[in-house]
Amino acid sequence: MYMIIRADGKTYGPETAEQLRQWIAEGRLPARTQTFAAGAREWKPLGAPPGISTAGRLSKTSSFATAGLICGSLSLVACCCYGFPFNVLGLVFSLIGWSQIARNPERYDGLGLASGSTGARWHWGSI
């Protein structure tokens, strides 16, 4: 049986391992969701390898995702040449940030930063 802390900060459970697997398959639980297994000593993210302690480790925001947001914002302000080169740099940094977060979800955070910056650029670029 497992207890989990969802994105809203509330604790839920106890839940079975089968239920957690189903929610992961449905995309309802990201790898960074904190879980507490019966008999465990500490909370661990779902994506943590078994037997490895994650105490004292916090995920950090991806620098590439932050750079993508900043460049995307600058591309909206710099109307000259449709925001070039900030629009290209923002897109590249955001894509690198996305891949970095996807490869190490327990280590990096900031998917919203990368997603927001590319969404803003594509929206304004289509006008």
How many whole angstroms separate alpha carbon 110 and alpha carbon 94?
A: 10
How many whole angstroms separate alpha carbon 89 and alpha carbon 73?
A: 11
How many whole angstroms separate alpha carbon 72 and alpha carbon 67?
A: 8
Given its phi and psi angles, is residue 93 left (phi above 0), alpha (psi -120 to 50 degrees) or beta?
Answer: alpha
Q: Which residues pair with 34 in a beta bridge?
A: 5, 45
Please report, for the chain, the start and end positions of each structural domain, with discontinuous segments joined by +. 2-45, 60-125
Q: Are strands 44-45 and 60-61 parallel, antiparallel or unpaired?
A: unpaired
What pLDDT digit, counting tens, does each position of 13-61 carry? 888 888 888 887 777 777 778 888 888 888 888 765 455 444 445 567 8
pTM: 0.47
